[in-house]
Amino acid sequence: MHHRPDFDATPYIQRRQRLAASLPPGSVALIPTARECIRNRDSHFPYRHDSYFYYLSGFTEPDALLVLHADGQSLLLCQPKDLEREIWDGYRLGPEAAISTLGVDEADSIEQLDARLPALLENKSAIYYPFATHAGLAAQVERWLERVRARARYGAQVPTAQHDLCELLDEMRLVKDAHEIATIGRACQISAQAHIRAMQCSARLLAAGADAREYHLEAELLHSFRHHGAQGPAYSSIVAAGSNACVLHYRASDAPLRPGELVLIDAGCELDGYASDITRTFPANGRFSGAQRALYELVLASEEAAIAAARPGARFTDPHDAAVRVLTQGMLDLGLLDAQRVGSLDDAIEQRAYFQFYMHRTGHWMGMDVHDCGSYNEPSERGQLHERRDALSGELIRERPSRILRPGMVLTIEPGIYVRPAPGVPEAFHHIGIRIEDDALITAEGNTLLTRDAPVQPDEIEALMRA
């Protein structure tokens, strides 16, 4: 990737400088990338770099490690140039070109890792590295420290503290910079086009009386992602026809698309290391039935309430609470919940009566990882604890104050409703699953939805599918 003439190292250099400035004097940070994974015999899973490593380097090759000192000096250990291996596995940047291309101060072969690391850790006060994200890394650090300790009689000081680098990097990654916002925005546009293409394909196949299955729509998504330059899906695409939509993590399979049933698609591409995440629910043949539209309009109203609640100064939990209020009131109005049994709207929310039909949160952070890093608790209020008993499970839950939303954060907003057959549930709604999901960038004024090129209004969806 890095012989790309358009690669700009500036954002990565700036992030390394910011991270170094937050490290205590005399400390050092180690950031490895992901390993290649064997799928079976001679084949590997498609390689995906480590997000933390990429965030600081922009480098996508396997077998690499970044060393960052508190004074800002950086060393990249990467695969050496090897013309024979490159015939088989493709171009390698190599240490020499890494300095000019990536803007690191020094580079060396990854084969020098065990030789160089003990000397780099000697006389440092503390080591920072990502905890619990790389199997075997902690043991590797211990081995290097053993070698430092062996030199104690020659005056070598051993670092006395190890810290989780995730905490510092998660805070940085939670607020997106301009380079990230632009990339996420492009990923969202590509994904929105893919959803439009899938809706139209569904209508076209059914109108022609052709065999139409979930995998046909998945194929449209994948084609659209790649056609517009994304590297692939950011997560396994959910294409759920009919009652499959009531399975939250359903994977696109071979179920038929049937007129009169809904199709739920939750799919987004990954572009240059950044995710997008969109869900749309539409009638397979392009026409909502009465019961489908009633539930759809309820979910859409709950999404609009959640969107209105996503603004700077609000809490991360505010959009969820807003969506739950609208959904629960709708469940009472439509007879999914019996007011005689669950009481008032506030009672129903308090008792989590809605959980039968809505059992997930209304959103999550999004960035390089589709479920991105970043604490959901407000760091400035970490000491405050609130204990409560959960109405359904009876377990004691210890809650800390929810994160305050700030400009530059990106989160998904994705309420839904999933109606499985059960006593007292009106039959017209059985097997209907609906989710509507958009990606929101928090701005100074409120938020910007990055995914609305894919329509959500039922009339617009019907018009698009007629076209």
CATH T-level assignment (fold) for domain 9-171: Creatine Amidinohydrolase; Chain A, domain 1 (3.40.350)
Q: How far apart are CA 78 and CA 1, in angstroms?
A: 14
pLDDT for 3 equals: 56
Q: Domain ranges for the chain, please list them.
A: 9-171, 178-466
Nearest-angstrom CA–CA distance, 376 and 403? 5
H helices of 106-253, where? 113-121, 137-149, 165-174, 178-207, 214-227
Residue in 220, 435, 438, 462 annotated catalytic: 435
For the stretch 81-96, pLDDT in tens is 999 999 999 999 999 9
Average pLDDT of span 299-310: 98
Report pLDDT digits (tens) over 100-145.
Answer: 999 999 999 999 999 999 999 999 999 999 999 999 999 999 999 9
- The type of residue at 256 is P
42 is catalytic: yes
**Domain 178-466 architecture:** Alpha-Beta Complex (3.90)
Q: Is 129 a catalytic residue?
A: no
> What whole-number distance in Å separates Cα of residue 60 and Cα of residue 51?
10
pLDDT of residue 1 exceeding 60: no
Looking only at Cα atoms, what is the longest distance across the chain? 82
Please give the pLDDT value at position 252: 86
- Tell me which residue has tokens 């839904």: 416
Report the phi/psi class of residue 31: left, alpha or beta, with left for phi > 0 and alpha for psi in -120 to 50: beta
Catalytic residue among 218, 437, 438, 462: 437
Q: Is residue 418 flagged as an active site residue? A: yes
> Catalytic site residue 435?
yes
Residues contacting 176, CB < 8 A, separation 6+: 184, 367, 408, 409, 410, 441
* Catalytic residue list contains 437: yes
Average pLDDT, rounded, for the chain: 96
- For 414, the token pair is 């994705």
Catalytic (active site) residue 414? yes
Side chain identity at residue 295, one-letter code: L
Q: Is 91 a known active-site residue?
A: no
277 is catalytic: yes
- Catalytic residue, candidates 280, 311, 364, 403: 364
pLDDT band at 405 (very low <50, low <70, confident <90, very high): very high
Q: What is the pLDDT of residues 452-465, one digit of tens each?
A: 999 999 999 999 99
Taking residues 196-204, report their average pLDDT: 98
* 136-192 pLDDT per residue, tens: 999 999 999 999 999 999 999 999 999 999 999 999 999 999 999 999 999 999 999
Cβ atoms within 10 Å of 176's Cβ, excluding its own: 23
Q: Half-sphere exposure of 440 toward its Cβ, with a 13 Å CA cutoff?
A: 29
Q: Catalytic annotation on 371?
A: yes
- Per-residue pLDDT of 266-281, as tens digits, reads 999 999 999 999 999 9
**3-state class of 371 per DSSP?**
coil
- Annotated catalytic, 270? no
From the candidates 293, 360, 400, 420, give the one annotated as an active-site residue.
360
- Which of 270, 272, 414, 439 does the annotation list as catalytic? 414
Active-site entry in 266, 272, 303, 369: 266
Q: What is the CA radius of gyration of the chain?
A: 25
Say which of 204, 251, 371, 382 is annotated catalytic. Answer: 371
Tokens 């250099």 correspond to what residue? 13
